[in-house]
Structure 1
Amino acid sequence: MNTITQLESADAYCRYLANRHYENFSVTSRILPADVRVHLTRLYAYCRTTDDLGDESGSHALPRLTLWREQVVQSLQEGPDPIHPVLLALRRSIASCDLPPQPLLNLIAANVQDQTVSEYGTWAELWQYCLLSAAPVGRLVLAVWGIREPEAQKLSDDVCIGLQLANFAQDVAVDRMKQRCYLVQADQLDEDPRAAVRSLCDRAERLLVSGHDLEELVPGPCRVQLALYRLGGMAILSTIRGMDYRTYQTRPRLSLATKLSLIPVALTESRRSRGHASPQGAT
């Protein structure tokens, strides 16, 4: 099998991973240039594979994550192409976009932490976890566009952590089956977890507001895509509030119609000039 065919097969596998898993937003859209769609799809496939190794490997999660980290480190160095299709494809994006290695490794570290930490007592503890599990994704996405300014990275951290908090609030029932809980224990006033779910939603919303300022710092197509991420997060928060924060009973989802309805909103908002203030903190 020649190198071109291997890469085509690897990218096909990345697209399969991106299309088969539910998200509150579209990983890529036709608004983006074709090469950017390819890079983002590869990044998503990497994140999905890393999470699946941590979530679906049972008692073998730690050794499998250790092996995965070794393969990632090898793919960052000179030498033969990786065997795993996701790493084979991602290696091209790392070279093309000069992607920083540390965010890739931090995502693995977050999944390693999941194997030993099952709950978080304070907001500060959860924030530190999110710096490993959520913030790296945004920094990698910005790097695809060549954006590395500290201001943009800080705003991206806020947005990505906001998206993850929304996901935590959405996935209470799912995480419980994995014997994990991302509700801040200090926010649980009694046996009813709704107060803690609401606290996550409130913090997520305040952080997602940073998306307005972030979108002002990026080029047009990127601005629309980032708006779609932000709006998807806001939409699931609205859905959670509509069910009175009872995500410990059932996991809410956004319908395809709802996600499609966000596209014209993102296009409209991306054309406007905004002067939104950054959030004063989500504590």
Structure 2
Amino acid sequence: MLSRRGYSQELAEKARRENFPVASRLLPRRHRDHLMAVYGFARSVDDVGDEAHPDDRPRLLDAYEADLVRLYDGREPLLRPVRALARTVRECSIPAEPFHHLIEANRRDQSVTRYETFDDLLGYCSYAANPVGRLVLHVFGEVSGLRLALSDRVCSALQVIELCQDVGEDHRRGRVYLPEEDLRRAGCPPGHLAAATTSPPLRAVVAVQAARAAKLLGEGEAIVASLSGFARTAVAGYVAGGHATLAALAGGGYDVLGRAVRPRRPRLVAAWARVLMTTRSPDAALQRLSSA
């Protein structure tokens, strides 16, 4: 078992591999600690759902579920990622539901391996990604109906972008997140996802998902304008990570099998500055969402 310091170092290394700054040093220590606690829980649950022996995953996910109940009942959690949440949950008044939804997303990963339509995929994102954005808003004390709606758009976009990057890795795990109807329409049989290089039909399907993610990101980006201070800085960084990764996907011709697609830091920093300077009115964004 890793020591507390070893766990923190391992978690920080995983955070550095994300598309966006999980807990930027531009933020005060208290915010960074809370964000890392939330990330540590989400990352640990994902690791169980992806990397534990398949026979062990249901039992381990049950253990996380039971430990969350223990935490919210005021008892001492047994698992380190849940124990690390205790101060964050208390100081930020975070409800249990988003954490339970993250566990449910990983339960679904054990039984649902294909998605017929993009809407079906967004249904998965509502459990796998959107709760994280809601948790971030709780960390900063910036929860509102408008912000939740915009945050869900951003988080779904970030999840779709990551799924585009990880097509090969997910296929090796027995999962295909690219919508089946899009694969059929493009003439992209399952064998294309197991190839060493990305075929033109598969690139076309990835490009379609990237365009959809860009639309979601554009709709949700106005959340930054609704925030101020450190919350604005942090959320702008997440949005910027999405833009920078979309640019990396496009720049690589949507080749997601032959190379690792990751945003370069200068591109991320430039996108971060742009988002902070140019975000649109959140009220206008809400009107567009209401009429959609």
TM-score normalised per structure 1: 0.88
Aligned runs of 1:124-203 on 2, under 5 Å? 124-188=119-183, 189-191=186-188, 192-203=201-212
The match for 1:6 is: none
Out of 14, 17, 36, the residue aligned to residue 11 of structure 2 is: 17
1:39 CA displacement: 0.2
Q: Distance in 2 between matches of 1:54 and 1:26?
A: 23
Find out whether 1:71 has 2:67 as its counterpart.
yes
The match for 1:237 is: 246
Structure 1 residue runs without a partner (length 5+) = 1-8
Q: Distance in 1 between matches of 2:232 and 2:80?
A: 30
Structure 2 residue runs without a partner (length 5+) = 189-200
Contact 2:68 2:96 in 1 (8 A): no
Which letter maps to 1:227? A
Q: Distance in 2 between matches of 1:42 and 1:11?
A: 14
Out of 285, 289, 292, the residue aligned to residue 278 of structure 1 is: 285
1:61 CA displacement: 1.1
Q: Distance in 1 between matches of 2:81 and 2:113?
A: 28
Which letter maps to 2:60? R
Distance 1:214 1:12, change over 3 A: farther
Find out whether 1:251 has 2:254 as its counterpart.
no
Percent identity over the alignment is 33
Distance 1:15 1:98, change over 3 A: farther
Q: Distance in 2 between matches of 1:224 and 1:245?
A: 29
Q: Distance in 2 between matches of 1:131 and 1:207?
A: 13
1:247 CA displacement: 0.9
Contact 2:113 2:174 in 1 (8 A): yes
1:53 CA displacement: 0.5
The worse-fitting range, judged by mean Cα deviation, of 99-108 and 85-94 is 85-94
Q: Distance in 2 between matches of 1:142 and 1:31?
A: 17
Q: Distance in 2 between matches of 1:19 and 1:86?
A: 16
Which letter maps to 1:32? L
Q: Distance in 2 between matches of 1:269 and 1:241?
A: 19
SS in 2 for 1:121: coil
Contact 1:220 1:270 in 2 (8 A): no
Which letter maps to 2:140? W
Contact 2:226 2:281 in 1 (8 A): no
Contact 1:18 1:45 in 2 (8 A): no
Which letter maps to 2:58? L
Structure 1 residues 177-215: Cα deviation after superposition (integer angstroms, max 9, x where no partner): 111111011112212222221111011101111343101
Q: Distance in 1 between matches of 2:78 and 2:146?
A: 37
Distance 1:273 1:167, change over 3 A: closer
Structure 1 residues 25-59: Cα deviation after superposition (integer angstroms, max 9, x where no partner): 11011221211111001000001000000001122
Contact 2:244 2:264 in 1 (8 A): no
The match for 2:194 is: none
Contact 2:115 2:180 in 1 (8 A): yes
Q: Distance in 2 between matches of 1:57 and 1:112?
A: 13
Distance 1:95 1:11, change over 3 A: farther
Q: Distance in 1 between matches of 2:51 and 2:175?
A: 13
Distance 1:212 1:90, change over 3 A: same
Contact 1:187 1:195 in 2 (8 A): no
Find out whether 1:62 has 2:55 as its counterpart.
no
Q: Distance in 1 between matches of 2:23 and 2:123?
A: 28
Distance 1:138 1:218, change over 3 A: same
Find out whether 1:221 has 2:230 as its counterpart.
yes
Out of 266, 269, 272, the residue aligned to residue 272 of structure 2 is: 266
